[in-house]
Amino acid sequence: MKLNYKFYPFQNSNQEKKSIGDFIILHGLFGSSKNWVTVSKFLSEFGNVYAIDQRNHGDSPHNKQHSIQFMADDLDELIKYLQIETPILLGHSMGGLVAMYFDLTHPGVIKKLIIQDIAPRAYPFSYDNEIKSMSFPLDGFASRSEIDTEMAKYVKDSFIRQFLQMSLERREDGVYQWKLNVAGLNQARRVFDDAFIFEKTSDTKTLFLLGGISEYIKESDIELMDRFFKANEKKTIAGGGHYIHFTHQKEYLEILKDWLERN
């Protein structure tokens, strides 16, 4: 599948600085490249950046097949299409699962791996309320605020609603629509199952960037990270949840800068 992406060319005010490689950013479930503009611009000081829309998200094609394996195949196709020899992957949540799976199944291809707040294991599909908040008919709604009020019946957290609404657009006829393949994602409830049931390991330099109060990381996940990724480093942002690239952006970018300059 040919994925949509946004390109941020390498540019650094220090003329002596050279590119360290090409970055590919993989967003999480219900996200898109739109969620990663600030991080993409920051990383463009280190190299070219490709922020992609994964299948069924953003401006990429919709498909009834949605799994970590299929998204890894899409990534493989994109890397070959762009002719990137040793990309640096940054993956958040679902995107982190795709990045880890790709690295483990394509040894030697990835130069560096940055994984945000996810571990190499199965996760439940616990997004019924999010799906419901995007499943009611949108015709008849005159504004985003009206849609937000209806969504609040299912999702109380305004931050999550705003995050979801980044995939809401208004057509030329005035009717709102979701760019996400909501129905398709609802049918892909096993997307996070059984991707890491092999004994493969990776020597890729890996940074796990974690939220200190995230519900996505358990103590037992640390052993899994060490088992699969032999050259990993872990950084935890105190008080941070799953979306630390938004909520703790300054500290997040400082950690990225330090790690990239040391590795």
**CA atoms of 229 and 2, how far apart (whole Å):** 29
Rounded average pLDDT per 10-residue block, the chain, 263 residues: 97 88 98 97 97 98 96 98 95 98 97 98 96 96 96 97 97 94 95 91 98 96 97 98 97 98 94
pLDDT at 149 (0 to 100)? 97
pLDDT at 67 (0 to 100)? 96
What is 5-124+189-262's CATH topology?
Rossmann fold (3.40.50)
pLDDT at 16 (0 to 100)? 83
Domain borders along the chain are 5-124+189-262, 128-183
Which residues, listed in sequence order, are joined to residue 50 by a DSSP beta bridge?
Answer: 7, 24
pLDDT at 12 (0 to 100)? 86
